[in-house]
Homo-oligomer: A and B are copies of this chain.
């Protein structure tokens, strides 16, 4: 494992080698051969320990997310676009216009470079769709068996427009909960993509950047109170967090939940509740009921929001709680999951 300046035993030059993480010539080859061609921009090309950028805003937002999804390729996407979309969406849900991302790679020795190239290509495409730039990066390589193919951290910076104040504690009686699209496809897709489960569907992940749709929403509606993307923990986990933060009771209407038949069927077989399944292209918007029609029209006008629907409302201040009016007209409590429904979903 210890070498000085002599050549390394490169038996397989098409895979990631430990030496790719050493800060030497091979690290530079990886950066100049794979990362730079994909992400090239003047900020990244400062070629420094970090990136200096001009600022005109009065308020900004930052966010971070690590991605460990298994498998790294799945119907509808891969760990690369998931990583870009995930952080873009977190920033957008803060009411920010995402500008810059950083990308930190942890690579397992032996990862085929062709896989890395494909993933970096997905990141490039996702960044272009979202209108963000990847401005700084880092690569580490660990020995075979010390991580699982690759993990990606993306952190992001965005500009918050004047007047916007999005926060989970702003949910209030009189607000409705709008869900931008079908619930559950990402989680069920990942599950079915794990070979060991021998389970097949025609579903694909909903991973997509939501910042353009959200920008349209904020352009037209001043009093959007809460925006959240229900990833890990699903719609239930996210709404429980909002109920806690705002001290409100949220009531879901089961009849209005946009759960595709394929998700419903797979969930039943697997013993899952779709409300706890992770989504990667979904936003929950909480805003005054009188603005709901306008919001729905704006969202349905975007491909990523064409299935938008009102799924519930904020009932009252008091004991934080999420309840659901079932198809049979009674109510059940939709609790936060205590454990892990599906590990490594993102």
Using a CB–CB cutoff of 8 Å, the interface residues on chain A facing chain B are 1-5, 7-8, 17-28, 46-55, 57-68, 70, 89-91, 93-96, 100, 102-106, 135-138, 140-143, 145-148, 151, 153, 155-158, 160, 166-169, 191, 228-229, 231-234, 237, 241, 245, 270-273, 276, 278, 335-344
Residues of B within 8 A of A49 (CB): 63, 89-91, 93-94, 228-229
A132: min CB distance to chain B, Å: 13
Nearest neighbor of A3 in chain B, beta-carbon distance: B339
Q: Known contacts A53-B61, A340-B21; decide if A4 and B66 are in contact (CB<8 Å).
A: no
User: 13 new A-B pairs (CB below 8 Å) besides A24-B337, A51-B94, A55-B60?
Assistant: A1-B340, A5-B273, A8-B338, A17-B340, A27-B233, A47-B168, A49-B63, A55-B55, A55-B57, A145-B145, A147-B148, A147-B151, A153-B155
Q: Looking at the complex, which one of B2, B22, B68, B95 makes contact with A271 (CB distance below 8 Å)?
A: B2
Contact A62 B48 (CB under 8 A): no
Q: A237 to B28: give the CA distance in the assembly, Å.
A: 11
Chain B residues with Cβ below 8 Å from A147 are: 68, 146-148, 151
Q: Which of B52, B61, B95, B105 contacts A61 (CB 8 A)?
A: B52
Task: Among B94, B245, B344, point to the contact of A142 (Cβ < 8 A).
Answer: B344
- B146:A5 contact, CB within 8 angstroms: no
Top 7 A-B pairs, shortest CB-CB distance: A23-B232, A50-B63, A23-B233, A22-B340, A155-B155, A64-B102, A24-B337
16 A-B pairs whose Cβ atoms sit less than 8 Å apart in the complex = A4-B273, A8-B339, A8-B340, A20-B340, A23-B278, A25-B338, A47-B245, A50-B64, A53-B59, A54-B58, A55-B59, A62-B155, A65-B138, A141-B343, A143-B343, A146-B147
- Which of B5, B19, B64, B234 meets A137, CB within 8 Å? B64
* Protomer copies: 2
**Residues in chain B near residue A148, CB distance under 8 A:** 142, 146-147
Report chain B residues within 8 Å CB of A46. Answer: 167
